[in-house]
Amino acid sequence: MSLVRVVRVVRVVRVVRVVRVVRVVRVVRVVRVVRVVRVVHAGPVKHVTHRSARNTRQTRQKGQPT
């Protein structure tokens, strides 16, 4: 019985970790997008806006749910 319990605990821990990582990744992406949008709206600097436009395109191609 102990082996089964250990296996279950390990699986739960792994799932929890994966969920946390996914959430962190989503938050980081959202923060990046928000920053990019702010930069685009804020500055007339061509180089920065060009970069940010690239970033938004890449994140959208990756299949972001947001």
> Which tokens sit at 46?
């061509």
Alpha-carbon distances of 66 from 10, 33, 45, 55, 61, rounded to whole Å: 31, 11, 27, 15, 12
Checking if the pLDDT of 2 tops 70, the result is yes
Q: pTM for the whole thing?
A: 0.37
Does residue 53 contact residue 40 with C-beta atoms inside 8 Å?
Answer: yes
Q: What is the DSSP letter of 28?
A: H
Where residue 19 falls among pLDDT bands split at 50, 70, 90?
very high
**Which amino acid appears at position 11 of this protein?**
R
Mean pLDDT (whole number) for 17-46:
81
> Which tokens sit at 40?
């685009």
